[in-house]
Structure 1
Amino acid sequence: MKIQKMFTLLSAIIISGAASQNIFAKEVVQTPEIISNSYDVTALEDRIAKLEYNDQHPDFEFHGYARTGLLLNAERGLKKASTFPGPFDKKYVGRLGNEDNTYAELEFVKSFYMENGAWAKFHAMLVSDSGSYSDNSGSGNDGWGDSSIQARQVYVEMGNLPTFTGAFKDSTVWAGKRYYNRRDIHITDYYYTDLSGTGLGVDNIALGEGKLGFATVARNSSVGDDQDIVGLVTKYSIGNFEFDLVGAKSQDNEDENSNLAKTGFQGFAQYNLNSYYGLNGFSKFYGQIGSGIGATWGLGSLGNATGNYKKATSYRLGTWGLTNLNEKWDLFTTLYGQYDNKPEDRDLDLYKKNGFETAFVVRPVYKINNNFELQFEGGVGYTESNFSDDTDSNGTFYKLTFAPTLKMDSNQFWARPEIRAFVTYVGGETEDRSKTKEKYNDDNIRVGVQAEVWF
C-alpha cells in the first residue's frame, strides 16, 4: 500500500512538471497585447485612422500607359506599313487602325508625409518608343536600331505646407521636368494644349470662386536644339470654365532671320458642358489664339514654331465629347478648325502663305456582351499645306476603320486593357496650284492588331 501511494505521488509530480513546461503542447499561444487595463476606444480609433490614411496615401505608386501592335499593308503582301503621312496623320483622320509603333510610359511616384500634414511627391517617368516589330526593338545586326528610352518627367511637388495660409492654403508647388497643362482628345491622340517642359510652378491658388496657377517653363525648339524657348504661363479655372495666357520668348530666333519672331503670345478658353450637347455624357468647347512663335504649329504648345514670322497669327476653334446613347452604343466625336495667317517672306521657304485645316472624327462603339465590342471609326480632314511654291496644294482625306475588340468590361468606354484586330481603308484627293487633281489610290487597305493599357 505504501509503495502504491508513493507511485501515485511520483506520477502526479511528473505530470505537473510536464504541464508547467508545456512539453505536451503542440503550439505556444502568445498572450495578446493589452492596450490598457480597460478597452481603450480612442487608441483603437487612432490605429484604424492611420490604416485608412496609409491606404489612401500610399508612399509608392506605379502608373503606366502602353500601346503595341501591327500595322500591315494588305496590298503589298502584308509588309510592314508606316503610319499614314501628312494629311493621313491621326490628328486629322483618327488613331484607331492608324498606329504602327510600340509606345510605353512607366511612371514611378514616391510620396513623403509629415505629421503636420505636409506632403511631397517625387515623379519619374521613363518613355520608350519603337517602330520595330522585333523582340529586341532593333533593325540591324546590333539589334537596337530604333530603340530609345527617355526621361520625360523628373520633378518634385509639395502641398499642404503649414506655412501656406490664406489663398495659398491648398496650393501646390512643383519644380523639374514634367508634363504640364496637357489637354488631349483621345480618339485622335491630339494635344490641343501641351505646355510641357522644365521649370517651376504654383497651382491651386484660391482666387474668388476659382483656382489660379503660375509657371515658367523652358524647352528646346523642335526646329533646333540651339533655339531655347522660355514661356510664362498663367491659368485660371472657375466653374465650368478654363483659361490660359501664355507668353514666350526665343532670343535665338532673331539670330536666324531678322524677320522671324522672337516672342509670342497665346490665349485659350474652354467651356466644359456636363452633357453631350444636351444628351447623356460630356462635351467641351474651346477657342485659341496665338501670335509670333505662338502661332501655326506653336499654337497650344512651346517650341514647335520658331520659324514663325513676327506677324504670324493663328486661330483655332474646336469641340469634342462622349455620350452613352443606350445600353449598347457609345459615341465619341471631335471637330476643329484652324486658320493661320503667315506673312510672305521670300528669304525663307517655309510658311509663305495663309493656311487652313479642319477635321471631323467619330468613333461609335457597339457592345455585344460584357467582354466583346465592335469599334468603328471614321475621319475626314481638309488641309491647305502651303509650304512653298512647289508644294502648294489643298487636300481632302478620309479613313474608315472596323475593329472587333476584346476587353474586361465593355460597359465602360475608358476601361483598359483592350485587344483589337482591325481593318482600315483610306482615300483622298489633292489639288495643286494649277487646279490639277490627284486621287490617293495606292495602299488603301491596312490590317493589324493592337493592345492598349493604362493604369
Structure 2
Amino acid sequence: MQKASSWLLAGVLSTSVAIAQADTLEERMSAFEARASAAEKRAAAAELQTQALARELQQIRLTNPALQPAAPTAAAIPTPTLDARVEKLEARQQSMEKQGGTEHLTDGFSFKGYARSGLLIDEGLGGGRGGPYITPAGSVGGAVGRLGNEDDTYVRMDLSKEIYAQNGTRSKFTVSIADGVETANDWTANESKLNVRQVFTELDHLAAFKGNSVFENSTLWAGKRFDRDNFDIHWLDSDVVFLAGTGGGIYDVQMNKDWRSNYSLIGRTYGDFSKGGIDANVQSYILTSNQFFDEGQWQWMFNAIGSKKNDFGTRTNQAGLTPADSGLHSMLANHQKNFFGREGFFKTALLYGQGLGAEVKNIGSDGELISDARALRLALYGETPVAPGWRIGPSLLAEQSKNRYVKGDDYRWLTLNMRLANEINSNFEMAYEVSWQTMNLDPKGYLQRNAVNGNFWKFTVAPTFKPDVGDLLTRPELRVFASFMNWSSDLDRYSTSGSFGKTDFNAGGVWQYGIQMETWF
C-alpha cells in the first residue's frame, strides 16, 4: 500500500509540471480507486465510508481539470488541493484496512430465503388434505388458491458470496438448499427431500466490457440455477413461467436505450431408460432468447427445445407412444408498475407451446409429451387498494391443451382467485380468499385417468399477524385459518391415486382448519 501510495502521489505532483501526464494520473487514480473498493469489501463495518470515499474521488475528478479530456494549462491545476485530498483518502484507506485486516467470511455474504410451515386439520381431527394442485386439473398445472390449503413444511435458503477484483469486476457465487415434507414431526430425516436446487456463479461489472455500450452492464453466468426473470402468481403458488436447469448465459445485453436481451443454453434430464441392457441418459437442451422492451414493461421470450435421445426405437411414454424429441415455446408478457393507473401492479402473460414446449410453465421439464402436443395458457394477476384499509389481489389462470400424452386427449381448465385483506391495526389484518376452478378433462385413459367435467370452489378466512400491514406481499405472516371446499361429484372419478374420491374426502363439502407461518426475505 505504501509503495502504491508513492506512485499515486508522484503522479499527482507531476501534473503541476506537465499536462501530458494527465492520462497517467487518471490511470493511477483508477488503480487507487479499485484498491480502495477492495479494501472496503474486506471491511464490512466501513460501508458508509465507502460511499464517502466514492464522493471524494468524484469531487477530485470534478475539481481537477487535469483529469478532464480538455486539460487547461498547468498553472490552472489546483495541485495542493489535490495532494491534500489524496493524502486524506490514503489515510482513510489505511485505517479501513487496519479495521478489516484480512478478508472476513461475512464480507460480501448475503442470505435470502423462503419458508412456510403449518398444520392442516380436517373436521374429524385427522390430517387435512390440500395443496394448490389438489384438483384433477392440478395434474396438468391447474392451480387453485393456496391460502388455508397447504399441509407441508417447505424451506429454501439462498447463500451468496460476492468478491470484487481490483479491476472492479464482481463475482458472485450462489447456492440454494431446499427441503419439503408433509409430516408434522420434528425429526423428518426419513421423509426429507433435502436438495441443492441451485449452484452457480455470476460475473458482472467486467473490466473487459468497460466502455462498451452493449455489454458494459451485462452479467455472465454458468451453473445450475433458476432463470433470474422467472415470475409467479403467489396467490396460486404457480409460476407463470419457470426456466431452470444447468448451463450458462448472459443477462442484460443492452441492444439500445429501450431494448435489452438475455440469452442462455441450459440442459435438463428426463431420466434413465434401458435399451438392450444399456442405460441411456436422456437430456433435453433449451436455447432461450428473452427480450425486454420499454424499461422491461414488455417481454418476449422464445425457447427452442431439443432432445434427440427422447425419440428412439423402443422408447415410449407411459401411454405407449413415442415422445417428442423437440419443441417450441413462446411467451408475450406485459409488466405494469401500476394497476390500471392506480397504486399497485398488474401482469399479463400469454404462453404457447408445442411438442416438448407444450409444458408451458416448467419449460422443457416434461419428457412424456408427444410431438402433436399443443398448449395455450393465459395468466392475469395484480394487487391494488380498493378502499381505505382494504387491498385486493385478483388472478386468472387458464389453459387449453390437446394431444399431450395421447392423440385426441383434451385438457381445459380455468381458475379465478381473489385474495383480500382488511387492515385492523398496524400488525393485524383479516385475510380472505375465494377460489373457483372449472375443468373439462379427457385424458383418454392416460395413467388410468377418466374423463371428468365439473367445478371446484374454496373459501378461506385467515386472521393474520405481520410486521406491517398495507401490502399483500409483506412477510412474515402468522395466520390461523378456516377453509371450506366443495366440488362436483364427477371429479371424484378422475383418478384412484388422487385426493378426490377417497371415502373421507369426496364431494359434498369439506371443512379444514389450521395454523401457518410464511416468510421470505
**Aligned partner of 2:487: which letter?**
G
Asked if 1:82 is matched to 2:129, the reply is yes
Counterparts of 1:52-451 in structure 2, within 5 Å, are: 59-74=108-123, 76=124, 78-83=125-130, 85-87=134-136, 92-137=143-188, 144-164=189-209, 165-180=212-227, 181-208=229-256, 209-221=258-270, 226-239=281-294, 240-255=297-312, 256-257=315-316, 259-295=322-358, 298-342=359-403, 350=406, 352-389=408-445, 391-431=450-490, 440-441=506-507, 444-451=510-517
Give the conservation status (yes or no) of the 8 Å contact 1:334–1:361: yes
**Aligned partner of 1:397: which letter?**
F
**Aligned partner of 1:251: which letter?**
K
TM-score of the superposition, structure 1-length normalised?
0.80
Give the conservation status (yes or no) of the 8 Å contact 2:393–2:472: no
Moved more, 212-221 or 363-372: 212-221
Shift of 1:417: 1.2
Give the conservation status (yes or no) of the 8 Å contact 2:379–2:396: yes
Q: Deviations over 1:179-226 (max 9, x none)?
A: 114211111110121111100111100112211111001112379894
Return closer, same or farther for 1:149/1:238 CA change in 2, 3 Å cut-off.
Answer: same
Give the conservation status (yes or no) of the 8 Å contact 2:372–2:407: no
Give the conservation status (yes or no) of the 8 Å contact 2:305–2:364: no
TM-score of the superposition, structure 2-length normalised?
0.71
User: C-alpha distance in 2, partners of 1:125/1:93?
Assistant: 27
**Aligned partner of 2:183: which letter?**
S
Higher relative contact order (CA 8 A, sep 6+): 1
2:184 is paired with a residue whose SS is: coil
Give the conservation status (yes or no) of the 8 Å contact 2:344–2:385: yes
User: C-alpha distance in 2, partners of 1:43/1:430?
Assistant: 82
Moved more, 255-264 or 164-173: 255-264
Shift of 1:115: 2.4
Per the alignment, residue 25 of structure 1 pairs with none
User: C-alpha distance in 1, partners of 2:87/2:345?
Assistant: 46
More helix by share: 2
Return closer, same or farther for 1:383/1:43 CA change in 2, 3 Å cut-off.
Answer: farther
User: C-alpha distance in 2, partners of 1:405/1:44?
Assistant: 53
Counterparts of 1:39-54 in structure 2, within 5 Å, are: 40-44=84-88, 47=92
**RMSD over aligned Cα atoms:** 2.9
Give the conservation status (yes or no) of the 8 Å contact 1:273–1:282: yes
- Give the count of matched residue pairs: 396
In structure 1, stretches of 5+ residues that fail to align are: 1-37, 138-143
Moved more, 269-278 or 126-135: 269-278
Give the conservation status (yes or no) of the 8 Å contact 1:363–1:377: yes
More strand by share: 1
In structure 2, stretches of 5+ residues that fail to align are: 1-80, 101-105, 274-279, 494-500
**Aligned partner of 2:265: which letter?**
T
Give the conservation status (yes or no) of the 8 Å contact 2:410–2:441: no
Q: Deviations over 1:221-249 (max 9, x none)?
A: 37989432110011010111011000111
